[in-house]
Amino acid sequence: MSIIQNLPFEWLVGLRYTRAGRRSGRNSFISFISLISMAGIGLGVAALIVVLSVMNGFQKEVTDRMLSVLAHVEVFDARGAMPNWIAAAAEARRNPEVKGAAPFVETQGMLVRDDVLRPTIIRGVLPEQEPNVSDVASQVKRGSFNALQPGSYNIVLGIELARALHVNLGEKVTLALAQGQATPAGVLPRMRSFTVTGIFEAGHNEFDSALAFVHITDAEKLLRLDAPSGLRLRLVDMHRAPQVAQDLKRSMSGDLIMRDWSKLNANWFAAVQTEKRMMFIILTLIIAVAAFNLVSTLVMTVTDKQADIAILRTLGASPRSIMKIFMIQGALVGILGTMLGVAGGVLVALNVDVIVPFIEHLLGVQFLSKDIYYISAVPSDLRWPDVFKIGGVAVVLAFVATIYPSWWAARVKPAEALRYE
C-alpha cells in the first residue's frame, strides 16, 4: 500500500480510473467496453502464440522426420563417381562437426508389381554404415535392414510404397530403370527382380511412398558404376550444415560438390517461412483492432471525466500530466490484456498434444489426415522469443492507441468543462 501511495499522482489517478466503474450506469458501460478491449487483446495475443507455436512444431516435426532419412550434407565428385570414398570419408570426419559418413548410390526408377507401377527413388547403401547417417535401420517395422547383402538383390520399401504395390515380405517386385539397353527392337528399359526383405516407416509420407533401399553393390551393378556416387554425412548440429559444407569444400581434396539438407528442400522451407510471416501479420491485425478499441474507451472516459480534468487543471496539473493519466489508463488495459493473452497462449501451446486429441475425440473428426499431410498429429513448439515479440507488439499497439484520446484530454479547457456543472 505504501508503494502505491508514493506513486506520482498521475499514476494514482490513472489506476483509479482503470478500476472505477460501479457508481453509475455510464461508468459501468465504459468499464464493460474496457474489459472487452482487454479481452480482445488477450484473445489476439493467445491466438498468435498458439498459431506460431503450432507452425513451429509442424516445421520441426517435418524437418526431424525428413532428416531421419536425408543426410545433413551430401558430397559428390564432379566426375560422377567417387572411387576414393574411403579416403574422402576419413577427410570429412576430421572436421569436428561431422559425426558420421557413409557412401551411397541414388537413382530414379519404376517399381512394378503385376499391373501396378510406382515411381521410386532407389538408394544404394551399405547397411552396416547407414546408421551413421540416417535412422532408417531403426525405422524398419517388418523384416530386417541388414538383409541387404551384396548380390542378393533384396530391397527395403517404404510402408506406403509397399501398400501401393500390394507386396509383403518375401515377395518379388520388378525394378525398371530409364537407363535402357539397345536392342534390334529399340531401346528397352533395364529391368531386375528384387525380393522384399524389409518395410520401413519414416513418418513422412513423401519418403514412405517413394523411397526404397538396396545394397550399394547391387545398385552399382544396375547402373554400371565402378564406385559410389558420393558420401552422405551427418553433423553434430544440423543447423550449421551450410557453413560446414563450405568448410568441407575448402578442406577436402578433389573437385567436390557439396549439397546440404536446406538446399534439398529450399522451396518447402521458404514456403513455411512465408506462411509464418503472413500469419503473424494477419493475427497482429486482430490485436490491432482490439488495441484500437481502446481509442473509443478512452474517448468515452475523457468525455465522462471532463469535470475531473478541469478540477485537476485548476489545482495546477499541467496538460502533460493530464495526458499521462489517460495514457497510463490505456497502457494498463493493454498490459493486462497482453499478460492474460500470454498466459492463456502459453498454456494452450504447451498442451496442444492433449487438447487437440480431446477435441477430435469429442467431435469425432481428424484435423490432419496422414494421406494428405506429412503428419497426422498437431505438434507444438513454443519459442519464447516469439512470445516476447508478440507481447511487445501488443503493448506497443495499445500504447499507440492511447495517444490521441490522451492528447484530446490535455486540450480540455477548465472553464468550458465546468460551465454546466
Segment 330-380, tens digit of pLDDT: 888 888 889 999 999 999 999 888 888 888 778 877 776 665 555 667 788
Give the residue from 411, 391, 91 showing the smallest Cα distance to 254. 91
- Report pLDDT for 10: 66
- Report pLDDT for 29: 61
Residue 254 vs residue 10, higher pLDDT: 254
Give the residue from 214, 90, 98 showing the smallest Cα distance to 152. 214
Asked whether the whole model's pTM tops 0.75, one would answer no
- Report pLDDT for 163: 92
Q: Is the pLDDT of residue 64 over 90?
A: no
Per-residue cell: 301: 472516459
Contacts of residue 189, Cβ cutoff 8 Å, sequence gap at least 6: 110, 176, 177, 178, 179, 180
- Report pLDDT for 156: 95
Confidence of residue 27 (pLDDT cuts 50, 70, 90): low
- Report pLDDT for 25: 47
Average pLDDT taken over every residue of the chain: 82
- Report pLDDT for 372: 56
Residue 28 vs residue 121, higher pLDDT: 121
Strand partners, 73: 233, 260
- Report pLDDT for 421: 55
Residue 28 vs residue 287, higher pLDDT: 287
Confidence of residue 59 (pLDDT cuts 50, 70, 90): confident
- Report pLDDT for 187: 57
- Report pLDDT for 254: 79
146-181 confidence digits (pLDDT tens): 899 998 899 999 999 999 999 999 999 999 887 656
Instruction: Give the residue-averaged pLDDT of 23-31.
Output: 56
The residue type found at 48 is: L
- Report pLDDT for 167: 92
Under 8 Å between Cβ of 394 and 345: no
Angle at 378 between CA 375 and CA 382, to 5 degrees: 120
Please count the residues of the chain: 421
Q: Is the pLDDT of residue 55 over 90?
A: no
Distance between CA atoms of residues 154 and 109, nearest Å? 16
Instruction: Give the residue-averaged pLDDT of 262-288.
Output: 79
Give the H or E element holding residue 120.
Answer: strand 116-125
Confidence of residue 21 (pLDDT cuts 50, 70, 90): very low
Instruction: Give the residue-averaged pLDDT of 245-270.
Output: 83
Distance between CA atoms of residues 37 and 288, nearest Å? 10
